[in-house]
Chains A and B, each alone.
Chain A
C-alpha cells in the first residue's frame, strides 16, 4: 500500500467518526498504525489476541467511542467467538478493518495464504457479519463512512476487507 493510500485510509476512518482502534498488526495495512498512533484524536490500543481486540473495542463503543478493530483475516477465525457473542448477540457496532490475505484480489497471495483467504467470506457470512471487499481507493472515503453507518444501524460488526492495491 502506498503511503498516500495509507493516509487516505486513516483520514477516512477519522472522517467516519472512528476515534478508538484496537489492533494486532499484520502485513498489508500496517502503515496505518503510526498514523493512528500519532493522531491525537484517535486512541490506539494494542491487544494480545483478536478476540481481546473485539471485546475491548466493544467496551469502548458502549462507553461512547466509535471503535474499529484492525486485524488480519486470520483474526476473524480467532475472534469468531467474541464477534458472535459480544458483537452480534449483545449487538455492538464495530468497524472491522481487515487485511484480506489470500483473497483472490490479494496481490501477495500464495500457498501460505490461499486457504485462509478462501474461508474468510464464508465465515463472516456464517456469523451474520456483512462485508465489503475494497480493491482500490476509488471510493474509499464513501466506503468507510457507509460501513460505519451500516454497523451502527445494524448494531453489529461490519467488515471491510482490503486487498487489491491495498495489498501491493
Chain B
C-alpha cells in the first residue's frame, strides 16, 4: 500500500469535512488530489494534529480530518495524551507511516522502523479507537468507514515509501492564501463571521 492510493480513496469521500495536513509528501499529494476549499495545508511538521484538534473543539458538529506522518507525530507525541482525554468525536486522524524520513532525501529510518508502534502508543494514551492499517482493503473498511462514525479515530497506515510527491506539481498556494480561502469557506458554510478577520 502506498500513501497516494489511500489519499485517492479519501479524496472521493470529501464533502464538507475540513482537512488539515502536516508538512510532508502527503501535503503535496493531497493538494494535487483535492481542490477542496476546506483544505488547510499546514506547512510545518508537528502541528497539524494540534490545529485539527482546535478546529474539532471549535466546530463540534463538523467532521475534521488530520493527515500526518510518522516523523511528524513523533515530533508531537504530547498530542496523543491530550486527545486520549479530550476524545473529540468529530476528529479522524490518518498517520501515513512509511518508517523513514523520506523528505530528507536520504530516507533514514524513523523510530517506527524499529520497535515503536504509534497505534499502540495512541491506545495507551487513551485513544481507544486507534488501529494499525496495513493494506488498502483494511484502509477502506476501517479508515474510510470512520468518516461516518461519531468517534475519535486514529489510524496508523503502514505504507511503503513512495516518491510520487516529487513527480507531481507542488501546490503554489501560499500559506496566507490558503488560510483565507479556508476561513472564507468556513464563514460561508457555517453562516457566521470568523472574529479575527475583523473589518478593514
Contact = CB atoms under 8 A, between A and B. Distances in A.
Contacts of A112: none
B42 A86 contact: yes
B76 A91 contact: no
Interface size class of B (residues with CB under 8 A): 35 or more
A66 B194 CA distance: 9
A66 B196 contact: yes
A120 B63 CA distance: 38
A52 B192 contact: no
A47 B82 contact: yes
Interface string B159-180: 0000000000000000110010
Contacts of B20: 59
A86 B42 CA distance: 8
Given A59-B58, A62-B182, A47 B51 contact: no
B21 to A, nearest CB: 13
B88 to A, nearest CB: 10
Contacts of A46: 82, 85
Contacts, number: 123
- Classify the secondary structure of B's interface with A: helix
Interface string A101-136: 000000000000000000000000000000000000
A153 B183 CA distance: 16
A59 B175 contact: no
A45 B51 contact: no
Given A48-B82, A49-B78, A51-B78, A64 B195 contact: yes
Contact of B54 (A17, A60, A81): A60
A55 interface: yes
A62 B40 contact: yes
Nearest to B125: A48
A46 B106 CA distance: 38
24 contacts: A20-B57, A46-B82, A48-B78, A48-B82, A51-B46, A52-B82, A55-B47, A55-B50, A55-B53, A56-B53, A58-B54, A60-B55, A60-B57, A60-B58, A62-B54, A62-B58, A67-B54, A82-B50, A86-B47, A86-B51, A90-B179, A92-B179, A151-B196, A152-B195
A66 B54 CA distance: 12
Contacts of A153: 198
A164 B25 CA distance: 48
Given A55-B54, A59-B52, A62-B179, A45 B86 contact: yes
